[in-house]
Amino acid sequence: MMNYTCPSCKKETSLDLDFTVESFICKSCSMLSEQGKIIKNVRKPTENVVLEVGQKGKIDGTEYTVVAIVVKKYGSSVFWREYHLKDKNLNDAFLSESNGHWVIMFPKEMPKKEFKFHAEFEDKKYRWYESTPNSIESATGFFEDKLKFSLATYKEFVNGTEMVSMEQVGTDKTFLWGKHISKNEIKKAFKPAYMPNYSGIGIVQPYYVNPRQLLNVFIVVALIMSLFQLYNTVSRSNYEVFSDNIRFDSVRSKELISKSFDLNGASAPLNVKLASNVDNSWANVELSLVNENSNEIEYTSQDIEQYYGYESGESWSEGSKEKEFNFCGVAPGKYHFSISAQKQGFEQPAGETFYAPDGKKTFAYTGDGFVDVILPSGEKTAVSLENLQQNDSATFAELEQAKAFKLKNPNFSTNIPDTDSANPNFAIQAFWKPVSFWNYFIILGIMAVLVGLNYWGKYLFDKTKWENSNYSPFNDYTS
């Protein structure tokens, strides 16, 4: 325990350490004294000073006491704060803060090799960042050495999150090694009432995500994925679960429920292939995959279309007679398909459909003021609904009878034959593919993109960090 009385204001200041004090600046009156002799009044550190002399905090397992505070000035508007620390064995350390970025520094023995564009310390090379002339703007606390208020030169060298610096005042030189320390560590160690505003990028601030560590993690993940993919490939096989040729006239305006089929193993894509002999025309298949255990439904509507012709003396074609797609991430279980379809020239009616009780006539509203009267042979006659009772009382009576029949038999339907012999049906095949490389390569691709973006972000981050340096590795300067 050390008690020091200011020779100017007689205020006593205590410190829970005991060492030789060459200079003392009273926090009460801001008077500088040297070995009890009053020298001059010094400005008191106030702006963004978050620690106090005598305050204790633990960093990397070592408890330090703040013994002095110095605010340094460069030019007319650049300031940074240095907190002088000592541990219980009186070893020195320094906390330097600028724009909310913190560096902890330790005195080291001066290297024998002269510094020019690079510095070498403990087999590590540091790049010259800046030489900063500075002076003491304000100070307070206990100092082992005599304070010098003359202009000093601060030369900084950087390697990632570490730095070395050499401060020279006259002929006196001080060499320090330091590293980035996060503001959260400062908060945890000293519990200050507030923290200085955080802006820009610190001279040794680390990038948010270490690119090399991220790459190593993704390599391990990729290896594990590859082992699972290899096991999946060896232990499982793809197989057909459904295949059928279905007439359009059997699923027009109604649904066909397929036979049930089992999907075994882990979640995987269900591959579906459709085919129809479309010829300058289209066909549409509506397909629902129904999980019989959970009643969950996945629905899709797929168009099959092919067109061709001649234009300006040249032939052209587009589309295909086949369509292939996947139900992705299908869980194992028992399933069936619900299928309906239509094609050009054999479309589903635009409006409601009614059936005669004997099933020999179908009345399909077209939505444009007409009703199609369709016979079992497929013959179709369009009848206007305007004044139908007066113009065609027989058809009117049959239509009313069909409407009444539908009210009593809502699920009744009858097939309207498709007279198109060129394309009467469509084919559907479904393949269960528990062995798939699709997701495997997608995840690998995403990881590769993330690693690439992270390296690019690190490049931009470092480039911004060095913008205030005259010796940036990103400009034309070479050492």
Each residue's pLDDT expressed in tens, for the chain with a length of 479 residues: 888 899 999 999 999 999 999 999 999 999 999 988 999 999 999 889 999 999 999 999 999 999 999 999 988 788 999 999 999 999 999 999 999 999 999 999 888 676 777 888 888 999 999 888 899 999 999 999 999 898 898 899 999 999 999 988 888 889 999 999 999 999 999 999 999 988 899 999 999 999 999 999 999 999 999 998 888 777 667 789 999 999 998 887 788 999 999 998 778 889 999 999 999 999 999 999 999 999 999 999 999 999 999 988 899 999 999 999 999 889 999 999 999 999 998 776 667 888 888 888 888 888 888 988 888 777 888 999 989 988 999 999 999 998 899 888 887 776 667 777 889 999 999 998 876 677 789 999 999 999 999 999 999 999 999 988 888 888 754 44
**475, part of any domain:** no
Q: Please indicate, yes or no, whether residues 12 and 161 belong to a single structural domain of this protein.
A: yes
130, 159: one domain: yes
**Residue 33 three-state SS:** strand
Distance between CA atoms of 188 and 185, rounded to whole angstroms? 5
Do 169 and 129 share a domain, yes or no?
Answer: yes
Number of structural domains found in the chain:
4
Tell me if 114 is assigned to some domain: yes
Per DSSP, the three-state class of 227 is helix
Phi, psi (deg, nearest 5) at residue 388 = -60, -40
Let me know whether 156 and 286 are in one domain: no
- Looking up tokens 């070893």 gives 91
Determine, yes or no, domain membership for 473. no
Q: Which of 24, 435, 382 is nearest to 237 (CA)?
A: 435
* pTM, rounded to two decimals: 0.62
Q: To the nearest 5 percent, what fractions of the chain are helix, strand and coil? A: 20, 45, 40
Q: By the 8 A CB rule, do 266 and 237 touch?
A: no
Contact (Cβ atoms closer than 8 angstroms) between residue 98 and residue 178? no
Q: Domain containing 121: what range?
A: 2-190
